[in-house]
Amino acid sequence: MTEQTVIDLSVKAIWVGMKIGAPALLAILLTGLVVGIFQAATQINEQTLSFIPKILVMTIALMACGPWIAETISGFTLELFQQIPTMIHGR
């Protein structure tokens, strides 16, 4: 296994991690923005007010994107397993 192979696998793994984390993180980001605007408009400064909606929206986002996330992870894993013979032989 060459250094370039390790670098390529690392880059692919990072991209897969970013892709599968994006739906939940974007949902939390947008929810936090909406709750922050609501808190600024109503001058309610309760810290726990933003926590519950974020958890609920993240759960909904993960449930909605769950099949896609599982497909992405299993596709990446299958690709890694298929590349094992070529990595061992260094071709």
Task: Quote the pTM value.
Answer: 0.78
Phi, psi of 9 (to 5 degrees): -65, -40
**Is the predicted pLDDT of residue 1 greater than 80, yes or no?**
no
Q: What is the average pLDDT score of the chain?
A: 91
What percentage of residues in the chain have a pLDDT greater than 70?
A: 98
| Residue-wise DSSP of 56-88 | HHHHHHHHHHHHHHHHHHHHHHHHHHHHHHHHH
Confidence band for 49, pLDDT divided at 50, 70 and 90: confident
Q: What are the residue boundaries of the structural domains of the chain, listed by start?
A: 25-66
